[in-house]
Structure formats: C-alpha cells, structure tokens
C-alpha cells in the first residue's frame, strides 16, 4: 500500500537536515566520483530536492557549464532555488521525472538520487532520461532498497511491522534490484553499480539514522492505522529505540545502490 509523502515546507526542512549529515555528505562525494562531472558539461538533477547535489555539480561544471534542477514539489523548488541563487550556471524548474522539459539529446549527464523510488512509471521515466541524453551521455541513479535494513530492536516482529508501514511511503521500496533490467530495457548500458551504506553502529544525534528514525516515527503515526499498527504499538517501538540508545545498544544500517549507466 503506497501513501505518498508530501514534500511540503516541513518535509523539505527535514530532508535538508538529514542530507546535511556526514552520511549523506559522504554519499554525494561517492556520486560525484562515479559521475565525474567536467567543466562545461550540461547536467540535469532530476528530483533536485534541497539542491545540495546540484550546488556541487554547478561548481564542478563551472560558468561554462549548465545545471538544471528539476522537482515537482514547490517547497523543494523554493529551497533549491535559494541555495543555487548565487550560481548563474544553475537553474531550477518545476517538472516531473516522467515528462522531462529538455530537448532530445541536449544533456551530457543526468543524476537522480532518492527520487525514482517515488515514481510509479519507471519505464516512462527511464525512456525520458534516455531521450534527453546525448549518445554517450551518463546517468547516475541512486535509490534505497528497504529490504537491506539491519536495525537492532527488542521486538523484531514489531520492527518488521513498522518497516512494512514505512515501505508504503514509496512507489517501489525495492527498486534497486530491478534497476539493471529497467536500464537495459530503456536502451542504457550499466557500467558500474556500488553500495552506499548508511551506517550507525552507535547513536549519533546528527546522523542519517537519527533523521530517518524521526521520519519513520512521524510517518507511522500518520499512516500506521492503515497497516494495522496502533498508536500504542508505534510509541512502544519508538520508546524501545530510546531505551536501546540509553543502554548504548543502538544499531542501524540500510543500503543505497548507485548505478552509473551510459546511453
Ligand atoms: C528524498 S528527496 C531527494 C532529493 C535529492 N535528489 C537529494 O538526493 O538530495 C526526493 C525528491 O524527489 C522529488 N520527486 C519525487 N517524485 C518526483 C517526480 N515524479 N518528479 C520530480 N521530482 C520528484 C520530491 O519532490 C523530492 O524533492
């Protein structure tokens, strides 16, 4: 069952906070290393969100290049626009990943991190990506597979129910396992696939793990009932995590998967 998250101003701030943690700063470094943007290139960031990756890309392509950040959520667009305002080579536009506002073959590269897992029609999204890239153009796509979670709990069954509810915030919580075949079907050649782990082998208040725990708690409180989760059960799950933190027994990890493909 899928209940989309609304990327309103509060969600935009929460995503920004989580994506400024060292875990996601490290992810952006990995993405940039894989994509290897060059001065003068024209690059799109599809689902630009808070604009953190687009800001790095704009600096790397320089004033002779072009970075277009696209997003469907007005609050995200506003945040990205503010972040990119001082970089004349960057622009932001409202749009959907399944209908890209770029001419055929007009881009050298495109990135989309933590976005396609929200997109129901991945066939159309990847054929659009293929259309807008030039021959030899690169695509870097990164998404989470929520089956890869290792999260210590005193009640594994309850943890499973909370995570099953969280799966409902995405169109496909297991997209990475299918991405290779989807890329090939859209006419791409996959060059490289890497795991980007989000790991907290102990509690860190400023971490991806802390941010995602808050996000899952909020999502479950609003949507748990539809998944047979009572308010008491959700609170018991959260209180258990607080107890484990106090005892120094917190452990969380989940894998993101980065695909580099060429047109
Ligand atoms: C979790 S955020 C990731 C933001 C950014 N890519 C990053 O990694 O920092 C997901 C973003 O994807 C956007 N999004 C979701 N579905 C989209 C679609 N169909 N077209 C464009 N943007 C979309 C959301 O509005 C949100 O800004």
Ligand 1 centroid from CA 170, angstroms: 11
Residue 10 buriedness (CB in 10 A; 0-12 / 13-18 / 19+): exposed
- Domains of the chain and CATH, by start: 9-262 (3.40.50.150)
| Residues 125, 123: Cα–Cα separation, whole Å | 6
Residues in the chain: 263
- pLDDT on residue 33: 98
DSSP code of residue 226: G
Tokens linked to 220: 């479950």
Q: Residue 243 half-sphere exposure, CB side, CA atoms within 13 Å? A: 10
Contact assessment for residue 113 and residue 25, using Cβ atoms and an 8 Å cutoff:
no
| Residues 30, 142: Cα–Cα separation, whole Å | 11
* Helix locations, the chain, DSSP H: 9-19, 22-35, 52-61, 74-84, 122-132, 156-167, 176-185, 208-223, 231-246
pLDDT at 214 over 80: yes
Contact assessment for residue 45 and residue 111, using Cβ atoms and an 8 Å cutoff:
yes
- Output the residue whose Cα is nearest ligand 1's atom 13: 47
| Residues 47, 113: Cα–Cα separation, whole Å | 7
| Residues 99, 124: Cα–Cα separation, whole Å | 8
Ligand 1 centroid from CA 118, angstroms: 8
Q: What is the pLDDT of residues 139-173, one digit of tens each?
A: 999 999 999 999 999 999 999 999 999 999 999 99
> Looking only at Cα atoms, what is the longest distance across the chain?
56
Report the predicted TM-score, pTM, of the whole model to 2 decimal places: 0.96
Percent of the chain exceeding pLDDT 70 equals 98
Average confidence (pLDDT) over 98-107: 98
pLDDT at 79 over 90: yes
- Torsion 183-186-189-191 (CA) sign: negative
> Reduced to 3 DSSP states, what percent helix, strand and coil does the chain have, rounded to the nearest 5?
45, 25, 30
Average confidence (pLDDT) over 58-77: 97
Give the DSSP per-residue string, 186-199.
Answer: TT-EEEEEEEEEEE
Q: Residue 160 half-sphere exposure, CB side, CA atoms within 13 Å? A: 3
- Nearest partner of 11 among 198, 203, 256, 211, judged by Cα: 211
Contact assessment for residue 86 and residue 53, using Cβ atoms and an 8 Å cutoff:
no
Pocket test for ligand 1, best of 19, 24, 47 (most atoms within 8 A of CB): 47
Q: What is the pLDDT of residues 182-193, one digit of tens each?
A: 999 999 999 999
Ligand 1 centroid from CA 225, angstroms: 26
Tokens linked to 139: 């695509």
pLDDT at 2 over 70: no
- pLDDT on residue 1: 45
- Output the residue whose Cα is nearest ligand 1's atom 26: 49
- What residues does ligand 1 touch, defined as CB less than 6 Å away? 7, 15, 19, 47-50, 52-53, 71-73, 76, 96-97, 113-115, 118-119
- pLDDT on residue 238: 97
């Amino acid at each position: 069952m899928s209940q989309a998250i609304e990327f309103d101003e509060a969600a935009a701030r929460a995503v920004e906070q989580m994506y400024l943690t060292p875990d996601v700063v490290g992810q952006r470094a990995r993405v940039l290393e894989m994509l290897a943007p060059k001065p003068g290139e024209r690059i799109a960031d599809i689902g630009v969100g808070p604009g953190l990756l687009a800001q790095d890309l704009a600096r790397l392509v320089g004033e002779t290049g072009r970075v277009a950040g696209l997003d469907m959520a007005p609050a995200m667009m506003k945040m990205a626009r503010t972040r990119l305002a001082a970089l004349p080579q960057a622009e932001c536009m409202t749009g959907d990943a399944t209908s890209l506002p770029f001419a055929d073959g007009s881009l050298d590269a495109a990135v989309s991190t933590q976005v396609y897992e929200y997109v129901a029609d991945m066939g159309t999204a990847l054929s659009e990506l293929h259309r807008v890239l030039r021959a030899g153009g690169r695509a870097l796509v990164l998404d989470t597979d929520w089956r890869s979670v290792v999260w210590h709990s005193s009640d594994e069954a309850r943890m499973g129910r909370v995570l099953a509810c969280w799966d409902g915030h995405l169109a496909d919580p297991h997209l990475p396992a299918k991405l290779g075949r989807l890329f090939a079907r859209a006419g791409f050649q996959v060059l490289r696939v890497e795991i980007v782990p989000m790991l907290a082998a102990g509690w860190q208040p400023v971490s991806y793990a802390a941010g995602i725990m808050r996000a899952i708690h909020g999502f479950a409180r609003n949507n748990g009932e539809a998944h047979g989760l009572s308010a008491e059960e959700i609170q018991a799950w959260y209180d258990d995590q607080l107890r484990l933190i106090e005892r120094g027994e917190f452990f969380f990890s989940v894998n993101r998967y980065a695909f580099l493909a060429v047109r």
